Amino acid sequence: MLSGLDHLVVTVTDMGRAVDFYSRVLGLDVRYRDAQRVDLMLGDTALRLHQTDTDIAPISATPTPGSLDLCLRCQLPLDEFKQHLDALAIEVELGPVARQGASGPIESLYLRDPDGNLLEICRPAAR
């Protein structure tokens, strides 16, 4: 029936600040759909940004900035990604730590975006 995820909506308080974070810190490609909608590309999947004070319909019943808990796969070794975050003065809350991902053991580190959303950055664990 279902085959994958097309996009996930991230509710933000400041579109410019969110675009800067996700593009500069996480390296996502930005696609502007219109003045109120921005897609941040993860391969063929998008994180779609919606700002809280815009009239986009339909939306979730209670769109709330900072309520997202998202795990993103990383191509770099996590030590290298952490060095990148350190160079940008982005605080890592936890990690790298061992976790269980959708496809097996992973190694993860955790940080927050400007709205307080929890972002887990992961890589398959060394075997």
Q: Give, for all 127 residues of the chain, the pLDDT tens digit.
A: 978 899 999 999 999 999 999 999 999 999 998 877 899 999 999 999 999 988 888 888 888 999 999 999 999 999 999 999 999 999 999 999 999 999 999 999 999 999 999 999 999 998 6
pTM over 0.85: yes
Task: Look at residue 95 and tell me if it is in a domain.
Answer: yes
Task: Look at residue 76 and tell me if it is in a domain.
Answer: yes
Task: Look at residue 20 and tell me if it is in a domain.
Answer: yes
Q: How many domains does the chain have?
A: 1
Task: Look at residue 127 and tell me if it is in a domain.
Answer: no
Task: Look at residue 58 and tell me if it is in a domain.
Answer: yes
Q: Domain residues for 27? A: 5-122
Q: What CATH number is associated with residue 34?
A: 3.10.180.10
Which amino acids are annotated catalytic? 120
Task: Look at residue 38 and tell me if it is in a domain.
Answer: yes
Task: Look at residue 13 and tell me if it is in a domain.
Answer: yes
Q: Which of 120, 114, 121, 84 is nearest to 10 (CA)?
A: 114
